[in-house]
Every structure is written in C-alpha cells, then in structure tokens.
Structure 1
C-alpha cells in the first residue's frame, strides 16, 4: 500500500511539475509565484487536477437518444443569458495551491531557460565547519546519550552477570553502561555570493517599471541561491543621490527628481571594497533603470567605474533597461558602445512583463 501511495505521489508531482513548466512564462510575467512567498517554499495556483469519473443524473431524467427531438437538434441546454440562471448546487471551478520548494522551483527555471550551472570562484578560501556524528564512545554529555546502545549494553551486562529475569525484564543502566554519540568537526568549503541590486527611482520610473524589477529580482535570487551555499543581497536606490536600503524599501520607495547613475555605482564600489573582496566572493551587481542620465559627463564617470572597478571585481555586471514612456533609453547604448566585446558586461532591454523571462536568460545564460 505504501509503495502505491509513493508511486501516486510521484506521479502527482510530475503532473504538477509539467503544468508549472508549461505555464512558467505566465507565472513569471504576472508574479503569481512571489505573492505568497514562504521561507522555503512558494504557493503556486494551478487549475484543479480532477480524476475523470461518470456523473449520474436522476432516474426520472431522459438520457441521450430519449425523448422528443429531430435529427440535428442540439443536445445542449442552449446559451444561458447572463444573470438569468437560478442558484445551483454544483461547485464552481477552483484553483489548487501547491507548495513547491524553492530548490525545485530553481531547477524548473533552469530547465526551461536552459541555464548552465555556475562554476563559482573562491570556493577554496571560504570555509565553514560542520559537526558530523561518526561513532559511539563511553563518555560524553547527557544530551548526546545514545538510548538504544545504552540499553543494549545494560542488557548484556545483566545477562552475563545472571541478574536478568525474563519474567520481570527490568533493565537498569548504570554509569558503565552509558554510551554517547561521538563527533568530529569537518571543514566544508563554501562558495559565497553577494548580489547588489541597484534601481533608478527617479520620476520616470513608475510603479509598473518597479514591479518588473521586483519580479525579475525574485527569479534571479531563486536561481543564484540554488547555485551557492551562502548568498547575501544588498539594495541601492538612486535618483540624483544613492543610498543603501533594505529589501522592502527598495521595492516600495516612491521618489522623484533627476538621475545621476554614477552615485549608485560609486556606492556599489565602496560596499564591495569594504566588505566583499573579489578573491573570496562571487559578485553580481544588477542595475535597473529606464536609461536616462543627468549628463554626458556623468555617463562617462559611470563607464570609468564599471571598467576600472566593477567589472574586474564581478563575475558579471548586469544592466537591465526597463522601457518607460518618460525615459530616453540612451544609457544602454552608451554601455554597448564601450563594452560590446566585454563578456562580463551583460545588458538586457525589458520592454514589459512578458520580456522578463528573456531578460533572465540574457543575464544568467552564460553560467558565470
């Protein structure tokens, strides 16, 4: 019975996985997967998966081929007028919410977008330690006492000494019977990564543009977290000035004013210099803007920071340009002019929510 249940469960998960893959672009563009994000899983709304079955009507009702009618007459009830029906006793069509682990979600994303596995750098330099239980010993703290081994040792002692009574099988361990789990500490090399999100929050970046950034950032996070044991995310917003904020502020800030992109790049470079040496961290700066900048001089400053600081320190430098009716869209052209041959600089134009999936492939498709 348990084997049949396991088989049915695996089959059900395969069905769900197939439905997610077929509708992945819809989920990405509408943000349905991040609406109820949990700590380790997300809730995914799917159409109800029903098992086919016969439905029987009342005995008094006629069936197909019974009653009055002529050849060619419709078997249906005709078109119902909106609001003309009566209250019914049949349930409506509901959605099934399925919990999917983020690791499985990342795997589905990678399969659908054909994303290559990332080869992290710095794995041999960042080390954490884990205690692994390797055996049994006769001394140790009570919290690590092994009950079954202690009971077995007490039983052997009582049998060998002749104090064991099968009619009254009472086992009383003494100090010499106690057994404890032993452990040793093992080094675990880890590949850590930091993602620095930068977003233009000037007046030309509206709620729709920031929603695109929010959705795309979630999927970028989902994939990169599946590739690294440890990952940190930092958030920078900027108009004419830049500042670091928390995640909630990053996506909810309403700002206005001009745009100086170099202010964000300078702050990003400072954070990396102070906290994330490139020899030990895998670094991913992502900048989202509508392409407007204050001046040609500031754009030149941005080019210098990207070339001299951000590109040498990063696995990838990614710039996503969100289309806005108020933005000129010039900045992506400037980046392409200077970095068209630089593999570590990746640009992507994001016209609308439907383009998010293609933009993620642009950014992560190189596997760096």
Structure 2
C-alpha cells in the first residue's frame, strides 16, 4: 500500500480550511446530528456549540493500494459444506465493545464513532441554513440596504475636489508659526543690536558686518518656509452609512397562565429562544417585541420574557389586543414587515376564543406577513385550536402547528420557517 506524506510546514490557520472541507464533505450527517441535538438541550445552553457524533462508516476515505497485475492462475475450492437454504451459525467473536455506545458487539472488534466538536457559529449556521421568514419577498428584503453618504470629519488624503481650504490654511498657518517663531525672535534681537551699532559712531565694522550676515542668513531660512505644504492639506472625509430599505418586527406572544405547567413552559421557552436566535442571527434590521399574558398581557424585555415566574388565569385576547395596539403606535404596516408567533397550551376561556378569532380576522391577519401559532399539549385540542384552524381556511398567512414533546420543537420550527422556493 502506498502512503502519501505531506511534509510541508503547517501555516497558521491551515486547520481552518481542513475543518471547512470536513464540514462540507459530511454536511448531511452533521446537520442530522445538529437537528437531533437541539431537542436535547436546555434553555441555557441552546446557543452553544455541540459535540457531533458521526458513525465511522460515514467518514471513510478512499485509499490507494497496489492492484493485482500480471497473469495469475488460481484454483477455487468447491463448496462441500453448505447447500442452498442452510442457516449459517454466527461466528464466535471476542468480548470487545463496539459502536462507541457501550453496547456489546455481536461481531467481535469494532471502532468507536467519530466525535467532532463544532463551534457556536457553525452550530447556528447549520441549524438555520434552510430557514427564512415567509412572505418577506412581498416587499424589499430587509437584508438589502441602501447607503447614504455623510460628512465624517477630515482626512489627510483625498482628491483635489474634496480639499477644505479653510482647514488647509489653518494647518499651514500653524506649521509656519511653529517653524518660524524662534527664528523671527532671533531676527528681531539681531536687528535691534544692528540698529544700536549703526547709531554708535565708534562701532566696529566687523561687528556690523557679522550681524548683517546673521540677519541675512535668518531671512533666507524664513524665506524657505513654504506658505503651504502637502502636510497642510486637509480633505473633507465622507463615509457611508446603511439605510435599511425595509424593516421587520416579530411579536412573540407566550401564555404563562396556571394551566401551563413547568414542562410546557420549558418547551415554549426553548421554541422562542430558537426563534430569537434565528431572527437576530439572520436578519440585521429586525426588532423583537416580547408579550407575556395570563388574564392580562404586558410587554416585557427579553430577560423577563424567558425567566419570569409570573402566572395567572388565561385570556388570550388580552395579548392579541396589546399586540395590535403596539403595532398601530410604533410599527405602521406600510413601513414594516410584521410577523407574530404565539405559543399556548390551548386553554382559554370559552367566551374569549371567538373574540380572539375576531381580533385576528379583522385587525391582525390583514396586516401581518405571517402569523404562526403553536399549541403545546398532549391533551385533545380545545376551542382556541378550532378557531385558529378556521382562520387557515380564509387566510394563507397563518400557520397552526402542534407540539407534543421536546422532540417536536425543531421539526415544527423548521416547518414554520422553511425557506420558500421560487
């Protein structure tokens, strides 16, 4: 077997290229491992890196080996032990463990699975690669930006058209004062001494000539100081700033009523953390509004939304009404792409579900790009689910999904925000 050895010295960062090649080559297996791992994470570590386990058979590499050449005569013995249909006994193997999971191997020796550590950025990139906000193409994409030029001070380099005359003359004056002030002071002193000698009839001619030579030398040096130099030139500096061509806002509505037990709240939090990471990582010009509700709804910050322990009864319409009020005050529909995601266990006052349907039908769905509702429960669906399903028949910008346990979080999330094909 021929072995090829690369003896070149490893340059700094060479392993990064090899890492990217490995991820690209085994992307399918790594993405499957990432999607499986996200459902096993807690709220606190959902955005950290991950150890990915890939079966050894999936990362086998092609090898070079010597082929059998020439003319070879070979005798194959006949089969004198088995007939068609015979059952072959399993060969007796060793006691080694296989598959890397601590389970006994039924075939003797085996190899551990390959464990590969991916970083936080790599994990999130693989997690959200095929996802996007639906219907965003109806307006200009919020990832596209225009650039506006604005004055940003002064610079020493530039084109003649951008010369700032006042700043350049000010710099020239400062330089000339710094270079000639001492010489002018000396010249003034020597001139006074010369005037005194010229007024004195008994003054020595040599002294007068020496002073005149010194004065002429100083005047020559002063004359050599340029009025303006390249160091004095100042140019107007212009920079560009991004002006978003469109904007998007995501309203996150979460039920924190007493019917939402701790496990259900944990699933809802994990779904919203996943959504928050997706939005903030993928879309630059996007705002997120967090609304928690029980019998009353209120706008909260990120920390309180995910970790507050407040609870109470259930009136879903309070959250929908607050969302509509905030949207009307701060996010006009002609300037913003409006999105909403709601998580609940389905419990609601029976009299309130028709009110929720009315709010969505008249005030919210006509304005939003996409409204997603997830119901987290193992029980039969109730009136809220039925009301939202009837809205699906009238509007194509609402999606209703069901989560039973933590394993459904990522598949449901992916189904809600799957990138649309043209």
> TM-score band, normalised by the shorter chain?
0.5 to 0.7
1:351 paired to 2:404: yes
For residues 249 and 113 of structure 2, the distance between their equivalents in structure 1, rounded to whole angstroms, comes to: 43
Q: How does 1:55-70 map to 2 (within 5 A)?
A: none
Shift in CA distance, 131/14, structure 1 to aligned 2, threshold 3 Å: farther
Match of 1:121 in 2: 139
C-alpha contact 1:198 1:288 (8 A) present in aligned 2 = yes
Q: Which among 121, 145, 161 is matched to residue 101 of structure 1? A: 121
1:318 paired to 2:372: yes
For residues 20 and 77 of structure 1, the distance between their equivalents in structure 2, rounded to whole angstroms, comes to: 27
In the alignment, structure 1 segments of 5+ residues that lack a partner are 53-71, 83-91, 141-173
Q: How does 1:11-50 map to 2 (within 5 A)?
A: 11-14=21-24, 17-31=27-41, 35=45, 37=47, 42-47=48-53
For residues 76 and 264 of structure 1, the distance between their equivalents in structure 2, rounded to whole angstroms, comes to: 61
TM-score by length of 2: 0.58
For residues 263 and 244 of structure 2, the distance between their equivalents in structure 1, rounded to whole angstroms, comes to: 41
- SS of 2:335's equivalent? coil
Match of 2:158 in 1: 136
- SS of 2:394's equivalent? coil
C-alpha contact 2:150 2:240 (8 A) present in aligned 1 = yes
In the alignment, structure 2 segments of 5+ residues that lack a partner are 1-9, 61-90, 103-111, 165-227
1:259 paired to 2:314: yes
C-alpha contact 2:42 2:270 (8 A) present in aligned 1 = no
* Alpha-carbon displacement from aligned partner over 1:106-144 (angstroms, at most 9, x marks no partner): 454343x7997942625699867466999834758xxxx
Provide the aligned C-alpha RMSD in A: 4.2
Shift of 1:208: 1.5
For residues 320 and 334 of structure 1, the distance between their equivalents in structure 2, rounded to whole angstroms, comes to: 13
1:9 paired to 2:19: yes
For residues 350 and 211 of structure 1, the distance between their equivalents in structure 2, rounded to whole angstroms, comes to: 12
For residues 282 and 105 of structure 1, the distance between their equivalents in structure 2, rounded to whole angstroms, comes to: 24
* Alpha-carbon displacement from aligned partner over 1:47-70 (angstroms, at most 9, x marks no partner): 499999xxxxxxxxxxxxxxxxxx
- SS of 1:292's equivalent? coil
For residues 271 and 151 of structure 2, the distance between their equivalents in structure 1, rounded to whole angstroms, comes to: 38
Match of 1:309 in 2: 363
Match of 2:335 in 1: 280
C-alpha contact 2:23 2:30 (8 A) present in aligned 1 = no
Shift in CA distance, 20/209, structure 1 to aligned 2, threshold 3 Å: farther
* Alpha-carbon displacement from aligned partner over 1:34-83 (angstroms, at most 9, x marks no partner): 6064xxxx42233499999xxxxxxxxxxxxxxxxxxx8754479xxx9x
Higher-Rg member (1/2):
2
Shift of 1:202: 0.9
Shift of 1:209: 1.3
- SS of 1:202's equivalent? coil
TM-score by length of 1: 0.66
C-alpha contact 1:283 1:315 (8 A) present in aligned 2 = yes
1:215 paired to 2:270: yes
Shift in CA distance, 16/191, structure 1 to aligned 2, threshold 3 Å: farther
Q: How does 1:324-363 map to 2 (within 5 A)?
A: 329-363=382-416
- SS of 1:26's equivalent? helix
Shift of 1:180: 7.3
For residues 15 and 125 of structure 2, the distance between their equivalents in structure 1, rounded to whole angstroms, comes to: 26
Q: How does 1:288-303 map to 2 (within 5 A)?
A: 288-296=343-351, 298-303=352-357
Shift of 1:229: 2.6
* Alpha-carbon displacement from aligned partner over 1:278-316 (angstroms, at most 9, x marks no partner): 1111111111111111122x2121111111111122111
* Alpha-carbon displacement from aligned partner over 1:309-330 (angstroms, at most 9, x marks no partner): 11122111111111155x8533
For residues 11 and 126 of structure 1, the distance between their equivalents in structure 2, rounded to whole angstroms, comes to: 32
* Alpha-carbon displacement from aligned partner over 1:245-299 (angstroms, at most 9, x marks no partner): 1122212233443211111101000110111111111111111111111122x21
Match of 1:87 in 2: none
